[in-house]
Structure 1
Amino acid sequence: MAARLCDRNPATSADALIDEMVPPSTFDDVSFDSYIPDPNEPTQAAAVAKAREFVERASKARSGKRKGLFGRKTPTQGVGLYLDGGFGVGKTHLLASIYHSMPEPKSFATFVEVTHVVGALGFTNAVERLSKHTVLCIDEFELDDPGDTMLVSRLLTELTAAGVNVAATSNTLPGQLGEGRFAAQDFLREIRKLSSVFETIRVDGPDYRHRDLPPAPDPRADAELVEIAENTEGATLDDFDALCEHLSRLHPSKYKDLVDGVSLVCITGVHPAEDQSVALRLVVLADRLYDANIPVTVSGAKLDEIFTEEMLAGGYRKKYLRATSRLLALSRFAETAV
């Protein structure tokens, strides 16, 4: 019988969260040189140049000192770079290249992972630990609620004041973060403070995950899926509803460990998510599966039908589109992996 994700209950220590703030393994060997700009999209070549320039500025900012009160030397203010663009244009590739180009200690995490680390360590402890780093790279920067707005605004303000450089990617301009999710106008001061940290660079282009690729594979029959799972070493087999219920009982910071060591994820009975909370947990799971390059194959509905039209028309549209893009890429991967 195939193993189930639903039977896994990973325990992640708070201290380990900082040590695990590194790029996904798929980006272990990327560099500025390995990023191939689309000749039809001049913003991509410009983004590479700006990212290289950021590394130079960040290195100088971190090594520089300024005189403070009573002649004490304090760190120079950290600098910031914000790569704004659509899905699959190579923003994470550039962010990982920045990370690899900076000296230790340094950290790389998604926005959600950053908030999880702060929640696990406590704000003061997180600032103390991260303030020693040369750079904090934040992938998929987004603000989903007022609490996140206040938390990240305060965090980045303190870190940049301590000399930490910050690079981020997103598909939402800094001044538009939070739109459609909560009363953003009530938090404009905090959002503007965040915007002031970054120099914003636009990266345009089509989603590379879907360039010249066929449509997503059709769902498999249940019996075929069971056979594949039972005959694939390291595969897991879960019912969609049971998996969604299991995810609700796990803190999202544990999703990375939940799929650790899995070679293939098989899910039966896929159907559109019933509500926003379920859908957002599936977004986090999709991100962790994509980071680990784990193929996904399903029965039931197609993977591009998980998020309803109503959800795609709401404030989390970009999250759902990114997750769909990644799930489709993993489902195509499964076609060649099994």
Structure 2
Amino acid sequence: MPQRLVDRDPVVPADQLIAQMVPPAMFDDVSFASYIPDPNEPTQAEAVRKAEEFAGKVAKIRSGGKRGLFGKKTPASGAGLYLDGGFGVGKTHLLASIFHASPEPKAFGTFVELTHVVGALGFTKALDELSGHSVLCIDEFELDDPGDTMLVSRLLTELAATGVSIVATSNTLPGQLGEGRFAAQDFLREIKKLGSIFESIRVDGPDYRHRDLPPAPDPIGADQIEAAAAAVEGSTLDDFDALVKHLSTLHPSRYGKLIDGVTAVFIENVHAAPDQSVALRLVVLADRLYDAGTPVTVSGAKLDELFTEEMLQGGYRKKYLRATSRLLALSRFASV
């Protein structure tokens, strides 16, 4: 019988949170040279050049510094780079390439993972742990609420002042972060401050995950999914409603540990997320599954029907579209 994710209760010790901030395994061997720019999209070749140039700046900043009064060396301010573009144009590939090319210590994580780390360690401890790094690489940079805006603005400003360089990817330009989610005037200044940290580089192109590919596989029959899961060693099989209920009991920072060692995920009776909180948990789970390259097979509704039309028209539209893109890619892995 397959295992069930709902039977797992993973724990991630606080002292391991920053140590595990590295690129997903699928990006272990990427480099600037292995990024193949689309000849029809000139911004891609320019992005590779800028990313490689930025990695050189990171090394110089950490080995340099300024001579102050009495010849004492003080750290130079960190550099900032922001890679903006649509889904599946290779931004994470370039982000991981910068990480690999930068000197130790260094950290890589999604925006959500970073806020979870700060929440678990506390602001002062997180700042202290990260301030010695050469670079902080932030994937899927988003601001979902005013609290996150203030937290990240302060963290990045203080890290940059200590000499930590910061590179981020997103589908939204820095000046538009938070747009459509909250409009409180008190936070506009913080959003603009974040935008001033980065040099923005555009990366255009179609989503490589779906380039020249047929539509995602249809869900398998309800009477087939148990046998299909049983045929894959190390797989899990869960009922959709039971799984989303279990996710609500776990801090999102534990979702990666939840699927650790799982070879394939099977979910039966899938249907549209009933509300925004469930939908956002599914986004985090989709990201962790994609990071791990874990195939996903479902029965019930199609994976591109997880998020309702109303959700797709709201402030979290880009999150939901990214999650759908990744889940469809994982469903194709399962059908190969």
TM class by smaller structure: over 0.9
1:324-335 equivalence runs, <5 A:
324-335=324-335
How many Å separate the matches in 1 of 2:126 and 2:68?
24
Residue 223 of structure 2 aligns to a residue whose secondary structure is helix
Specify the alignment match of 1:181 in structure 2: 181
Q: Which moved more, 1:50-59 or 1:313-322?
A: 50-59
Q: Which moved more, 1:36-45 or 1:61-70?
A: 61-70
Residue 19 of structure 1 aligns to a residue whose secondary structure is coil
Is 2:33 the partner of 1:58? no
Contact 1:104/1:134, CA 8 A, preserved across alignment: yes
1:98-137 equivalence runs, <5 A:
98-137=98-137
Paired amino acid for 1:6 = V
How many Å separate the matches in 2 of 1:312 and 1:186?
27
Change in 2 beyond 3 A, CA 1:70/1:154: farther
Consecutive unaligned residues of structure 2, counting only runs of 5 or more, are: none
How many Å separate the matches in 2 of 1:72 and 1:284?
45
Contact 1:265/1:297, CA 8 A, preserved across alignment: yes
TM-score for both structures, normalised by structure 1: 0.98
Measured after TM superposition, the shift of residue 69 of structure 1 is 5.9
Measured after TM superposition, the shift of residue 61 of structure 1 is 1.6
Consecutive unaligned residues of structure 1, counting only runs of 5 or more, are: none
How many Å separate the matches in 2 of 1:129 and 1:319?
29
Measured after TM superposition, the shift of residue 181 of structure 1 is 1.0
How many Å separate the matches in 2 of 1:125 and 1:186?
27
How many Å separate the matches in 2 of 1:325 and 1:129?
34
How many Å separate the matches in 1 of 2:68 and 2:172?
36
Residue 3 of structure 1 aligns to a residue whose secondary structure is coil
Specify the alignment match of 2:309 in structure 1: 309
Measured after TM superposition, the shift of residue 213 of structure 1 is 0.3
Specify the alignment match of 1:285 in structure 2: 285
Contact 1:178/1:184, CA 8 A, preserved across alignment: no
Specify the alignment match of 2:218 in structure 1: 218
How many Å separate the matches in 1 of 2:211 and 2:184?
35
How many Å separate the matches in 2 of 1:225 and 1:184?
47
Measured after TM superposition, the shift of residue 67 of structure 1 is 3.5
Runs of 4+ in structure 1 off by over 3 angstroms are 67-72
Residue 200 of structure 1 aligns to a residue whose secondary structure is strand
Paired amino acid for 2:188 = L
Residue 144 of structure 2 aligns to a residue whose secondary structure is coil
How many Å separate the matches in 2 of 1:108 and 1:43?
24
How many Å separate the matches in 2 of 1:306 and 1:49?
38
How many Å separate the matches in 2 of 1:247 and 1:68?
52
Number of residue pairs aligned between Structure 1 and Structure 2: 336
Measured after TM superposition, the shift of residue 330 of structure 1 is 0.3
Q: Which moved more, 1:305-314 or 1:55-64?
A: 55-64
Paired amino acid for 1:75 = P
Specify the alignment match of 1:165 in structure 2: 165
Specify the alignment match of 1:209 in structure 2: 209
Specify the alignment match of 1:5 in structure 2: 5
How many Å separate the matches in 2 of 1:45 and 1:231?
43
Contact 1:48/1:94, CA 8 A, preserved across alignment: yes
Residue 226 of structure 2 aligns to a residue whose secondary structure is helix
TM-score for both structures, normalised by structure 2: 0.99
Paired amino acid for 2:123 = F
The superposition leaves residues 46-86 of structure 1 with CA deviations (integer Å, 9 ceiling, x where unpaired) of 00000011011221122221244665321100000000000
Paired amino acid for 2:269 = G
How many Å separate the matches in 1 of 2:15 and 2:70?
35
Residue 291 of structure 1 aligns to a residue whose secondary structure is helix
How many Å separate the matches in 2 of 1:75 and 1:7?
48
How many Å separate the matches in 2 of 1:260 and 1:180?
35
Paired amino acid for 1:262 = V
Is 2:45 the partner of 1:24? no
| Percentage of matched positions with identical amino acids | 75
Paired amino acid for 1:196 = S
